[in-house]
Amino acid sequence: MMEPLNQKRTNTVVFPGFCDVHVHFREPGFSYKETMITGARAAARGGYTDVCAMPNLNPVPDSPAHLAEEERLIAGAAGICRIHPYGSLTVEEKGEAPADLAGLAGRVVAFSDDGRGVQSESMMRSLMETAKRLGKIVTAHCEDNSLVRGGYIHDGAYARAHGHRGICSESEWRPIARDVRLAKETGCAYHVCHISCRESVDIIRRARAEGVDVTCETAPHYLLLNENDLREEGRFRMNPPIRGQADQEALLEGLLDGTIDMIATDHAPHSAEEKSRGLAGSAFGIVGLETAFPVLYTGLVRTGKVPLPLLISKMTEAPRRRFGLAQGAEDTCEWDLEACYEIDPADFLSMGKATPFAGWTVYGKCLRTVCGGKETWRA
C-alpha cells in the first residue's frame, strides 16, 4: 500500500498527487456548468494532479475531429492539472453504432459511454473485441434502461415512505454480470464505473477470482452515505443513487478486501437552477473533487474503518496503474490532517455547488498541490 511520502510535522503530511479516473468537466458544450479551467482548479485544490474526463459532451468525442475540440480546451487548462480525455464507445453515446475507436485510441485514456449504458449485448461484445485489439480499456456506466422505470433514487424504504420512484439495484448489477461474461470471452480489459450496490461487489469479486480482467471504482458518497441520509434536496440526487445500509457496508468490505480497486469522485457539476428542483426534478450529479479526501479521511480513517495508507493507494497508485498514468516524483499534495472546518459549497472553486456533504465538519485541509514541479494550489 502507498505510504505518505513524508510527514513534515505531526499533523502535516505530503502524499503523492491524487488521480481521479471519473470526472465531468462539461466542455465543450456545457460551459455554464463547468469549464476545463474551473474543473482543473477544483481538482488542484482537492490534491489532484491527474483526472480523466468523461465524454458526455457536445460534440461527443466519438471521432478524431470531435475530440480535437475537447483537446483544444484541455490545452487551455495546462499547468493546473493534467486532464486525460475519454473517447466515447458509440457515436453520440447512442449505443447504435461504434465510435471511431481506432482513430481515437492513441489520444484517449480509455473508452466509455458514461452516463449511458450500452444496452445491446452484441454491440458491447463488438466494442470489447475492438478495444482488446487496440489495447484499450472499456469503462462502463452499467445501467439497464428497461429496469429504471422512471426512477431517480434508490428503490428502498425512503422512496416508499416519501412517494418517490425508485431505481432498483438490478438495473446496475445485471449489466455488470453481462459485461464480465463478455470480458471473459473477449479478453478485454474492463472497468466498472461508480458501483453502488452489494450485488455488484459480489459479481466483480467472483469474476476476479475466475481471472477476468475487471476492475471497478466507487465514490465517496456511496461509502459514507445510505438512504437514511437522504433529504428532499437536489444535492442528494445522483446516478446511481445512494442505496441501502447493507449496500454501503458491502462497498466498504469490497474496498478493504481489494474487490474495489479505486475511489473516483464522479464529479458532475450542474447549474444552481438544475439542482434546485428537489429529489424528483433535479439533474443527476454532484461535485466531489474538493471534498473527497476530507470526507473520506474523516469518515473512514479517523473512525478506524480504513487504514490511511490503503485510502491513499485507492486515490493514487491503483487508478494510475490500471489506466497507465505515470506518477511523477514532482506530483504531490500536502495536507494538514488536524485542520477542522465545515464544508461550505460557497467556497468551492468548481462552478458546481451541489454536494450531500454540505455542512459536514471534516478534518484535512489541502495546503499545497504540486503538479509536474509547479505549484498549482496553495491554501
Each residue of 120-154: pLDDT tens digit? 999 999 999 999 999 999 999 999 999 999 999 99
Mean pLDDT of 349-354: 98
Query: Per-residue confidence at 11, pLDDT binned at 50, 70, 90?
Result: confident
- Residue 115: inside a domain, yes or no? yes
pLDDT, average across residues 95-119: 97
Percent of the chain exceeding pLDDT 90 equals: 96
Give the pLDDT mean for 86-106. Answer: 98
Q: Is residue 369 part of a domain?
A: no
Catalytic residue at 266?
A: yes
Residue 150 within a domain: yes
What's the full length of the chain, in residues? 379
Strand order in the sheet with 332-342: 6-9, 12-16, 332-342, 361-371, 374-378
- Tell me the longest C-alpha to C-alpha distance in the chain: 56
Question: Residue 234: which of 287, 298, 197 has the closest Cα?
Answer: 287
341 belongs to a structural domain:
no
Question: Is pLDDT larger for residue 11 or for residue 159?
Answer: 159
pLDDT of residue 8: 47
Within-domain flag for 285:
yes
CATH number at residue 233: 3.20.20.140
pLDDT exceeds 60 at position 294 = yes
Cα–Cα distance, 260 to 247 (Å, whole number): 13
Look over the chain and give the mean of its residue pLDDT values, rounded to a whole number.
96
**Number of CB atoms found within 10 A of residue 326's CB:** 9
Indicate the number of domains in the chain: 1
5, pLDDT greater than 80: no
Domain carrying residue 199 = 18-327
316 inside domain: yes
Per DSSP bridges, beta strands 332-342 and 361-371 are: antiparallel
Q: Which residue has the cell 458501483?
A: 195
SS3 342: strand
pTM score, two decimals?
0.96
The three-state DSSP-derived secondary structure of 243-259 is CCHHHHHHHHHHHHHCC
Does the pLDDT of residue 63 top 60, yes or no?
Answer: yes
Residue 343 lies in a domain: no
Task: Taking residues 259-287, report their average pLDDT.
Answer: 98
- Tell me if 344 is assigned to some domain: no
| Active-site pick, 50, 266, 331, 336 | 266
Q: Dump pLDDT digits (tens) for 212-247.
A: 999 999 999 999 999 999 999 999 999 999 999 999
